[in-house]
Structure 1
């Protein structure tokens, strides 16, 4: 894969920010907070937000001794309550670190996301209730509650926004589902307005997953094995994301949106998630380099952020005006026998399942820590 040349002397993360992309870190741990490393990322690598998920918390809890003090304090607490206490404490502390960014950007950035228990992904009412509880518990205006874009999650997204609660919609893989997410967002803001909420601070992003699409489609292309199929490897994810951006442009230029914008609402920004490159044959920053456009968020795991800070490439807007080419790429993939609809449906199911597994790991790790500290109920 050919690497374009960027001769600018400015650091890559600064150039990306200047191109209008908000850099969020897809990671959080107590060690990252207490060591001051998160605060340094704001000044040294232009980070302006943080996302978390069950996998991130499970990993953080399983490493080192940063949570030993909290577990000692929570000894005797039931494990579910302990997990919520630990995760909301971390998110609250991160929100305080990011608060100056939130204020400086007029509530646009400086956001920290925390996810509803993924075991509730198919339960609308329970998701809505837990979203409100997390919002109240963290008690910071710059928190976002992550709700998965399952069919059952869509009305929960609307109901949560209607209460004036900021939402990060996660696990979006298909354009069709993304359109439903944007519609749920508009419904929620219209209800929030009717409920008397100030729309300006009600933030939302739509987390469109990228690398997992290539991982699954590349596997299928390899199995087909024809020259036509192999030529399409590594092209599906970026094309899918670029089509998502075209859908975003369409919805957020509509009269329906303009009425909300006139009332002070901010758009639900596309957020490129799952941006770590899984295939070592590909450029390790491709899901950042090739998705540069003003007004989006790119949330990166630490390794991708480090790689981009070292050798990322910013050559201006690489998304606008690419919809026709992206549609042709997807059509070519379909033509060799791969159904994108089938792939994205599978990825959503796997995504929910993987987060459930991570949540169970988090509960197990926490239970063991509580037992060591004096017993869990």
Structure 2
């Protein structure tokens, strides 16, 4: 079937369209396949909030929950069995996409967010989830905390593909790229004949949450209102500049010559939270080659209906620097913003995970 023209043009500009949502109903109804066929979708991301909504709001999980309940499995095992099944099915659905474009056709599954500050436990769970889903077009999501960075390196070294999540600052983004490259180098150091075939990574740089927090602080400081709604895009644009620098270095080229693929920037949190802003803001203004934009279905359909490309990222670096400097000059402590957003991001996922665990526990009891 014909692809939506607006989203097809976005794809042609180098932006891979991924859906930030997954449920068993979406898979079984044919909706996910329809989005692949008609809306250029070539990947899927998930998080604990998405699974909590999917499982609590559907009867599609009842049979599996009953089977798990009568086996008297723990809630943790049940939760992982259920989510892994959905991710595996989505991986199978997207397998033809992955075969045609190995960096895409990917589905992400996150390590338990409570492990965000535990390096060894994160790496161990990443390996377990990789084994559990058992699909080459899987991404294991690992948060970009200080403790998560060495887990990213060791996971990549094992040949496990990683989606690094919860990146807010340029400083941390550079550390994430370093962790990825170090993982590839470690793989070669351990086995000079090791292959990079199938190993991929994306770095999820969050956008709308940056605007939400900075806008609030700009208001509190009585700053120029014209600065509002600009920092999220500017911060991401400068992240792409850093990406170009790192993945054009001689160090990278040595790995690329052996078959390594760049870690692509992924624009996350791209649903607009302020209704005063264009509902396609974080798609239109973040168009650049070799990127991914994972978006809620609502945002995707908005761009399909009326989205238009904005200023190319690569021509916006100077203006982006001016925006971030103006925000800092207005009294916004950017380091504090990014630290707070990371802390809140981890906690939000922990809260969603706890909600998901509680929901699954109740349903296991009901179906025993």
Please tell me the TM-score bracket, short chain as reference. over 0.9
RMSD, aligned α-carbons:
1.1
Contact 2:88–2:133 under 8 Å retained in 1: yes
Residue 4 of structure 2 contacts residue 38 of structure 2 at CA under 8 Å; is this kept in 1? no
In the alignment, which residue of structure 2 is the partner of 1:331? Answer: 325
Q: Decide which of 340, 347, 356 is 1:362's aligned counterpart.
A: 356
Distance in 2, matches of 1:193 and 1:305, equals: 39
Distance between the aligned counterparts of 2:302 and 2:190, measured in 1? Answer: 45
Say if 2:4 and 2:39, in contact at 8 Å, map to a contact too. no
* Separation of aligned partners in 2, 1:74 and 1:302: 31
Q: Distance in 2 between matches of 1:28 and 1:224?
A: 40
2:339 equivalent to 1:345: yes
The Cα of 1:225 is off from its aligned counterpart by: 2.3
Q: TM (normalized to structure 1)? A: 0.94
* Cα distance in structure 1, aligned partners of 2:273 and 2:229: 10
**How far did 1:10 drift?**
6.5
Partner of 2:21: 27
SS at match of 1:165: coil
1:61 to 35, 46, 55: 55
Aligned counterpart, 1:192: 187
Unaligned runs of 5+ in 1: 1-8
Equivalent position of 2:130 in the other structure: 135
CA distance in 2 between counterparts of 1:313 and 1:63 reads 34
The residue aligned with 1:113 is 108
Secondary structure, aligned partner of 2:314: coil
Partners of 1:168 and 1:108 lie apart in 2 by: 12
Alpha-carbon distance between aligned partners in 2 of 1:212 and 1:367, rounded to the nearest angstrom: 31
| Structure 2: runs of 5 or more not aligned | none
- Contact 2:4-2:40 at 8 Å conserved across structures: no
Residue in structure 2 matching 1:211, options 187, 193, 208:
208
Q: State the TM-score, normalized to the length of structure 2.
A: 0.97
Q: Which aligned segments of 4 or more residues in structure 1 are displaced greater than 6 angstroms?
A: none
Counting matched residue pairs gives: 362
* Aligned equivalent of 1:162: 157
Q: Do the aligned partners of 2:19 and 2:296 also contact (CA within 8 Å) in 1? A: yes
* 1:231 partner SS: helix
Structure 2: how far apart are the matches of 1:111 and 1:26?
12
Alignment equivalent of 1:13, drawn from 7, 14, 35: 7
Which residue of 37, 51, 56 maps to 2:45? 51
Deviation at 1:339, TM superposition (A): 1.1
